[in-house]
Each structure stands twice: as structure tokens, then as C-alpha cells.
Structure 1
């Protein structure tokens, strides 16, 4: 059996016996044990009582975290003419049309968010098998297929987070950095949970939010009281 390092051992001891904490307690515990040599991301994982194989149980949406994610989001925009110029002026990292499609088809995906104007969807649609599995396919339901390119790019750059339930009924996302003040992390966590709560699908039966966990990139996870995470 491999010997545990001092850091790993210390984290395990700190988290031992901790369960169903309040958001405040969980954030304090995670921040206090985020000792990696880089600024770790604080991540949330939610187990939902849904089966996304059924259309009426799909959960997806977008939320603007009040304090941002602390991450430099790279944005690609599919647009032409004036809308392409608007995207560049708004701060998009990559802007193109068929040329960008060819780059993506070649396997070069150097962006975290993909936005498209409606007229570009016939082009972007060819990339479904590439962008879909990465949750990068533009979708009007989350505001990434839009004529308001300026607002979409600025929202993506400013801390907007998309979420989509996976096959096992799990949603996960980054909600800030370990260097954030505790109050800002707590606010972000509750904003994210609130958005998922509002996205409850019509087909959801029984308990919708089953479990919420918080962790840092290199740290252990801790369960959080669902009631504590929901904004009153």
C-alpha cells in the first residue's frame, strides 16, 4: 500500500467525520485546507433526483455568479461581418465562420465557451459531434445562440456558468477560487444552487436535490446541507 504524503494525510484528518455541514462551515474547511502551490478551484457537485434520458427530466441552464469564477474564460464566436466585429470589440478570443469550423473539425479547441449568431447555426451544426460531448454547443436556451453578441461575450467573460445534468443525474461546476473571501464563495455557491433549483424540470418526482458536495481541486470533498445551500 502506498504511503500517504504529509499533505494528503493532513487533509484526510481535517475532513474526517465531517458531514452535512452548513455552506459556511464547508467553505471555511475547504479554504483552510487548500494548500496546493496554485490557486485551487472550489467545485460544487449536486446529485439530482432526475433521469436525463427523459426529455422532461433534463436540467440545464446558466447562472451569472455574483463574484465571478476567478477563471479567465476563453470565448469563441461564430459570426460574420458586423457581428464578428462586435464580438471582437466585446473581447472574444476567437472569431470566425467556416474558417473556425475547419479549425475545430481539425481537433483544435482552444476555448471554454462557444457563441454563435442564429445565421451561423447551419455551419456550427456540423460540429455537433465535436462540441456536444464537451458541452460547448451553442444553444438559445442558455443564451449562446444570439444576435446580442456583445452581451453574450461580456457575460461569459464576467463569470457566467453553464450547467447541464449528466447521465448519472449529477451536475458539477467551479464556483470560485480558494483565494476568494469566504463571503464571496458562499454567495456564489448559493447563487448556483438557486439557479439549479429554478431549473427543476416538470418530470422530476420525489426529492429533487439529493446531495450537495463541495471540494477544492486537490482537496477532499465534504457534503453540504441542502437546506443550508438554498437561499431563504
Structure 2
């Protein structure tokens, strides 16, 4: 059995794993326990009462975090002519068409978000087996297949978070950095949970949001009292 490091042991020293913490206390505790030498990401995980194997219980969407994620997002855009120029002007890191497709097929994927104009989907569709498993395939429902490439690039750069429920019924996302103020983290978390609530699928039965947990990259996880998230 692997030994637990002194840092992690200390982090859990005064944590009650059976307690459901109010959101404000949970955020304060998580920030206080983030002792790594880098700015840890604060992550939220939500257990949902859904079975993603059924199409009418799939949970997927986007959320605009009011204070961003604190992460630098590299954006690739498949576009031509004027739309390519718009994407570049909006701050896209990589813009192209067939040439970008060839780079992706060759394994060059130095980006975190992929956006495409509708007329480029014939090209992008050929990359489905590469982009799909990485969660990078442009999708109209997520606003990443659009003629408004400038708006999509701006949103991605500003801290828009995409989410998709996993097989076990869990959805998670980074909602900020440990260096954020407590209020900023609280507002981001509430916005994310609200987006999950609004994305409730028609096939969901019983209790939809079953459990919410909060943690930092290297810190302990805390269960959050769901009623305290509503504010």
C-alpha cells in the first residue's frame, strides 16, 4: 500500500469526511488547504441521477463563469476568408482549413477548444475519431459550430466551460484557481451548478443533483451542502 505523504496527511488532519459543508466554509477550507507550489485549480464534481447510456438522460452544455477559469485557453478555428480574419482578430491561436486538418491528422493539437464555421464541417468531420474522444469536436449545441466565430473565440478565452456527464453520472469542471477570492469562487460555483440544473434532461427521474463535492488539484475533497449553493 502506497504511503500517504505528509502534506496530504496534514491537509486531511482536520477534515470531517462525513460532514456536508456549507459552500462558503467549503471554499474557505479548500483555499486554505491549497499549499502546492503552483496555483491549484479548484474543481467541482456533481453526481447526477441520470444514466448517460440513454439519450434522454444525457447532460451536456456550456457555462459562462462570471470570473473565468484562470486558465489560458488555446483556441483553434476552422474557417476561411473573412471568417478566418475575424477569428484571428478575436484572438484565436490557430486558424486554418485543409492545412489545419492536416496538422491535426499529423498529431499537432496544441489547442484546448475547437471552433468551426458550418461550411468547414465537411473537413472537420474527417477528424471525428481524433477530436471526438478528446472532447474537442465542434458541436452546434455547444456554440462551437457557428458563423459568429469572433463571439465563440471571445467566450472560450473569457472562461466558458464545457461540460458533459461521464458514464458514472458525474459531471465535473475547473471553476477557478485557489488564488481567486472566496466570493469569485462562490459565484463561479453557483453559476456552474445553475447551468447543470438548467441542463436537466427530460429522462431524468428522482433526485437530479445528488451530491456536490469540491476540491483543489492537490488538496482534500469536501462534500457540499446542496441547499447552501442556492445562496
Determine the structure 2 residue equivalent to 1:27: 27
Q: Which residue of 2 aligns with 1:136?
A: 136
Encode CA deviations 1:174-205: one digit per residue, 9 max, x unaligned: 00000000000000000000000000000000
RMSD between aligned alpha carbons? 1.1
Alignment of 1:217-232 (within 5 A): 217-231=217-231
Q: Is the 8 A contact 2:163 2:171 kept in 1?
A: yes
What TM-score do you get using the length of structure 1 for normalisation?
Answer: 0.96
Q: Structure 2 matches for 1:83-98, cutoff 5 A?
A: 83-98=83-98
CA displacement, residues 101-138 of structure 1 (integer Å, 9 cap, x when unaligned): 11111222111110000000111111111111111111
In structure 2, the partner of 1:149 is 149
For structure 1, list consecutive stretches of 5 or more residues without a partner in the other structure.
none
Following superposition, the deviation at residue 14 of structure 1 comes to 2.8
> Paired residues, what number?
231
Shift, 1:93, TM fit: 0.4
| 1:152-163 aligned within 5 A | 152-163=152-163
Match of 2:201 in 1: 201
Question: Are the equivalent residues in 1 in contact too, given 2:17–2:222 (CA < 8 A)?
Answer: no
Instruction: Say whether residues 1:42 and 2:51 are aligned partners.
Output: no
Q: Greater shift after overlay, 106-115 or 198-207?
A: 106-115
How far residue 17 of structure 1 moved from its aligned partner, in angstroms, is 4.0
Report the equivalent of 2:110. Answer: 110
Question: 2:17, 2:223 within 8 Å by CA — same for their partners in 1?
Answer: no
SS in 2 for 1:14: coil
Which residue pairs with 1:210 in the alignment?
A: 210
Query: Does residue 64 of structure 1 match 2:70?
Result: no
CA deviations 1:135-177 (Å, max 9, x no partner) are 1111111110000011100000001101011111111100000
| Structure 1 residue matching 2:228: 3-state secondary structure | helix
Aligned residue for 1:204, secondary structure, equals coil
Give the Cα–Cα distance (whole angstroms) in 2 for the partners of residues 137 and 20 of structure 1: 37
Give the TM-score taking structure 2 as reference length: 0.97
Instruction: Please tell me whether residue 122 in structure 1 is matched to residue 161 in structure 2.
Output: no
